[in-house]
């Protein structure tokens, strides 16, 4: 397998600019071929951070006993009807996400117009609920799942952040998120060993056996290799033909910066995708 060149070291952020945005800017200078993807991620990340600053701290009125019962039963902790979504903010963020994706040619004009109409539609909360529950929700509109995920992630992340302070997920053995039931989008290899999966919907993290595939739970047939001088690890499953990338924190010398690491590893996606494996 031909792997991409090593990623440049993450620089210190410029004054007043968050570390991840500064790192994306430096990556664009170092690898111009990634510049279009980086420009997209910078806009999405900047908008998400601005929204997070406006969101208040959520209070999820669930006793510790109920949380423990749900985890023991293998049920995610966050149920849609208990999430206090700020719908004016959500509708604004939906429009912003559609605009960014359209300007970067991720959406065509027709689909973008339909998605913008949904932002004003009274049925948006119901559609978001069905998306969250993995039910059919406007599947005829290209890009809807991406827009819903990018729009709702700041809200879900804030709720997950609150819950993770209240409950331990050490006994959770599933490959899906204990907070929202989402799939892992990346993983982290901590300095002390093991592996933590990172949810693509709410950004929660949970420990998961590094010998198992989080998608099909097979504990054999796993192909593991390193990339970018060992900074990243890829675990590919020969049973379900899925793979998951991970940042080796010790080798990287920094924590996971999700937007940065997703873009940095795009060449890895191309290389392993050519071998018939699918990512998230």
- Domains defined for the chain, CATH in brackets: 64-164 (no CATH), 169-273 (3.90.1670.10)
Q: What is the mean pLDDT of each run of 10 residues along the chain (280 residues)?
A: 44 64 94 95 95 78 84 91 91 97 96 95 94 79 92 94 87 94 97 95 95 94 90 95 96 95 95 90
What burial class does residue 171 get, using C-beta atoms within 10 Å of its C-beta: 0-12 exposed, 13-18 middle, 19+ buried? exposed
| pLDDT number for residue 113 | 95
Beta partners for residue 197, in sequence order? 187, 206
Q: Rounded to two decimals, what is the model's pTM?
A: 0.89
Residue 21 has a pLDDT of 94
Asked whether 178 and 77 are in contact (CB, 8 A), the reply is yes
Other CB atoms within 10 Å distance of the CB of residue 157? 20
Residue tagged 């999700």 (tokens) = 258
Query: In the structure encoding, which two tokens stand for residue 197, read together?
Result: 């999966």
Distance between CA atoms of residues 166 and 50, nearest Å: 26
CB 129 within 8 A of CB 158: no
What's the pLDDT score for residue 64?
82
What's 265's DSSP letter?
A: T
CA nearest neighbour of 212 among 174, 248, 170: 174
């Amino acid at each position: 397998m031909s792997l991409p060149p090593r990623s440049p070291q993450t620089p210190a952020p410029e004054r007043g600019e968050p570390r991840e945005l500064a790192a994306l800017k430096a990556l664009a200078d170092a690898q111009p071929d990634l510049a279009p993807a980086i420009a997209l991620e910078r806009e999405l990340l900047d908008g998400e951070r601005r929204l997070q600053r406006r969101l208040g701290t959520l209070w999820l009125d669930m006793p510790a006993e109920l949380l423990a019962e749900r985890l023991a039963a293998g049920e995610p902790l966050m149920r849609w009807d208990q999430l206090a979504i700020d719908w004016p903010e959500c509708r604004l963020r939906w429009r912003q996400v559609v605009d960014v994706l359209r300007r970067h040619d991720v959406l065509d004009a027709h689909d973008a117009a339909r998605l913008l109409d949904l932002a004003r539609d009274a049925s948006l909360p119901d559609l978001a609920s069905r998306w969250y529950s993995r039910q059919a929700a406007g599947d005829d509109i290209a890009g809807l799942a991406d827009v819903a995920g990018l729009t709702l992630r700041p809200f879900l992340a804030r709720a997950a952040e609150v819950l993770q302070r209240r409950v331990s997920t050490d006994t959770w053995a599933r490959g899906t998120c204990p907070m929202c039931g989402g799939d892992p989008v990346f993983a982290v290899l901590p300095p002390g060993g093991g592996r933590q999966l990172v949810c693509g919907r709410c950004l929660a993290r949970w420990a998961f056996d590094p010998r198992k595939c989080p998608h099909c739970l097979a504990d054999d047939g796993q192909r593991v290799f390193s990339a970018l001088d060992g900074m990243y690890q890829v675990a590919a499953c020969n049973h379900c033909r899925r793979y998951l990338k991970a940042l080796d924190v010790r080798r990287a010398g920094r924590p996971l910066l999700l937007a940065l690491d997703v873009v940095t590893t795009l060449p890895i996606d191309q290389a392993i995708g050519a071998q018939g494996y699918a990512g998230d």
